[in-house]
Amino acid sequence: MKKRTVAIVCGGDSSEFEVSLRSAQGIYSFIDKVRYSPYIVEMHGLEWNVVLKNGRKVAIDRNDFSFEERKRRKSFDFAYIIIHGTPGENGILQGYFDLLGIPYSGCDVLASAMTFHKFTCNQYLKGFGVRVADSMLIRHGFEVTAEEVIGKVGLPCFVKPNADGSSFGISKVKTQEQLHPAIKKAFAEGGDVVVESFVPGTEVTCGCYKTKTKEVVFPLTEVVTDNEFFDYDAKYNGQVKEITPARIPEETAGRIRLLTSTIYDIMGCSGIIRIDYIVTPEGKINLIEINTTPGMTTTSFIPQQIRAAGLDVKDVLTDIIEEKI
């Protein structure tokens, strides 16, 4: 059997560059190397490099996404996109691969672009009956008063970049005086800013993927942290307890799994996604956001959930790749 050549595309132009590199190493460690010949491709701006087996970096030809190894031109059969942020999570890279006819993991251009823009996505899903927090969008150049924001979403509230990951530029605001510094911090990450009402409850997250022949919804993970919220330090510096399966009633967990599968279909998703929720003390399920390129380090949520489901990460990645090739 001829090995397929797979690009594990990482890096990108957001503050989560280093996190993406770690996810790429996770994918590389998980992937079936009998079936596939994987290469890590690091992107930053217009600098695109393949990392060869000896650690040397070789430039990608952006005209056809090929590279040269041992004086031979090589191309890729598949791209596994693991960029958290632009250009890999918002549809830009997906459009590029569509033009070249290279199959890739994850959602298409439209689903990627919509899910990347939190406000747009949540308002769209609200029309399908999905519960979301009250929110407002603040665009560059538009002045808003603290009174206007608080009148709309109340206090406490969350302020975060509208189109980015949720690790940088996010603040939990408790007082009126904290609001404008938080908005300024979120704007520093680029793009617009979304302000959301605080919804008390238990944070859980649920992964899912589908192929032509199967639907897999993973066990839920409960997120417990002493931090104000699930911020960068909680995510990546160990300041969190991640409990899989989540300690919630099975009836509630079943509703969340069904909702995750339903949202997957509404958005037209592909590949592995992860959806974050807040479960209120009354058992109501509030959507936080959809992650179409969830982290894939060895300790990330998705690998944890795959193992809790009694599955092998290698086999799941094979499902994702073979579905598209």
If you average pLDDT over residues 274-298, what whole number do you get?
95
Q: How far apart are CA 270 and CA 264, in angstroms?
A: 8
- Residue among 318, 232, 302 at smallest CA distance from 26: 302
Q: What does DSSP say about strands 57-59 and 47-51: parallel, antiparallel, or unpaired? A: antiparallel
Residue 106's φ and ψ, nearest 5 degrees, are 85, -170
What tens digit of pLDDT does each residue of 155-209 get? 999 999 998 655 678 999 999 999 999 999 999 887 899 999 999 999 999 999 9
* pLDDT at residue number 77: 98
pLDDT at 299: 85
% of the chain residues with pLDDT over 90:
85
| Strand, helix or coil for residue 188 | coil
End-to-end Cα distance, the chain: 15
More confident residue, 53 or 91: 91
Percent of the chain with pLDDT over 70: 94
Domains contained in the chain, CATH given: 4-104 (3.40.50.20), 113-131+199-310 (3.30.470.20), 135-197 (3.30.1490.20)
Mean pLDDT, the chain, whole residue set: 93
Task: Give CA–CA dist 137/293, Å, rounded.
Answer: 23
pTM: 0.91
